[in-house]
Amino acid sequence: MDIRFEKVSYVYQPNTPFESRALYDIDLEIKEGSYTALVGHTGSGKSTLLQHLNVLLKPTEGVVNIGDRKITPETDNKNLKPVRKKVGIVFQFPEAQLFEETVAKDIAFGPQNFGVSTEEALELAKKNLALVGLDESYLERSPFELSGGQMRRVAIAGVLAMEPEVLVLDEPTAGLDPLGRKEMMEMFWRLHKEENITIVLVTHLMDDVANFADFVYVLEKGQVIEGGSPQVVFQKVDWLKEKQLGVPQATDFAEKMQTNGTHFAHLPLTAEELADWIVEEGAKNRG
């Protein structure tokens, strides 16, 4: 299911003294099966944009195409459930959305809202809890007894249980320890590869973009100012630094090597790429 934005603008509280514009003429495309990253400063419109992905907000101008649904400013608020089922959003700090008395019920809540029977929903809960790396002993516990990281996993399982085709992640690893962060990102990567889930990732961590994404959009002040594959976008090191967005660590390191006289045909994005390059060069010099 492709998602396409055509000249989308969004204004908060139009025609009041508190009017403020969050998005200007956004054109972007999230292809089926892709892993798209959205980067940009706080307040650049990322959160507003991602709320358009499952019609929590409707554009003030323009069209959002979600699969074969066209969302325009005039779209009715009814019959949006099918869209919301297909596009699951994991908001920032999703542990805040837990409320049921057991983990199982909480995960089953989403599917049940979309008409899945209770037994099936509980089955889904079991399956998705395993997917996020918690064993069955957690099913009957209260979500409020768990640690922050475990709560986060339960909340994410709750979104996954709706079996969305597109998974939107708003800084899913914010506030997690390094190991939790790594496990979480690898779990999403597995889902992306194995279940062919389209992923939209909003993040400040350029290394995550370099490691996982195959497309990246850069937002500034409500506009898309750059879009392309990370390999292309991260070549503009100076431009990105000027925008105070930074580049992946490996790219930064390679850039410093370049100022010292080393030549790269193409700046590496990940530590592995950089290591490969060094090994190759070393072999060449020896040989």
Which residues contact other proteins (rule: CB under 8 A)?
A: 51, 54, 56, 81, 84-85, 88-89, 91-92, 94, 96-99, 109-110, 113-114, 144, 158-159, 162
In sequence order, which residues have a C-beta less than 8 Å from that of residue 188 and are 6 or more positions away?
167, 169, 172, 199, 201, 212
Nearer to other proteins, 152 or 247 (CB): 152
Nearer to other proteins, 27 or 99 (CB): 99
Nearer to other proteins, 51 or 198 (CB): 51
Name 131's bridge partners.
none
Compute the radius of gyration of the chain from its Cα atoms: 21
| Beta pairing, strands 35-40 & 61-66 | unpaired
| Spatial separation of the C-alpha atoms in residues 86 and 2, rounded to whole Å | 11
**Cβ 285 to other proteins shortest distance, Å:** 54
Residue 287 is encoded by which pair of tokens? 């040989």
In sequence order, which residues have a C-beta less than 8 Å from that of residue 195 and are 6 or more positions away?
none
CB atoms within 10 A of CB 208: 21
Q: Which amino acid is at 192?
A: H
Nearer to other proteins, 12 or 264 (CB): 12
**Cβ 183 to other proteins shortest distance, Å:** 22
124 within 8 A of 158, measured Cβ to Cβ: no
**Cβ 96 to other proteins shortest distance, Å:** 5
**Cβ 143 to other proteins shortest distance, Å:** 10
**Cβ 71 to other proteins shortest distance, Å:** 15
Which 3 state secondary structure label does DSSP give 4?
strand
23 within 8 A of 8, measured Cβ to Cβ: yes
Nearer to other proteins, 115 or 178 (CB): 115
Nearer to other proteins, 50 or 254 (CB): 50
**Cβ 93 to other proteins shortest distance, Å:** 8
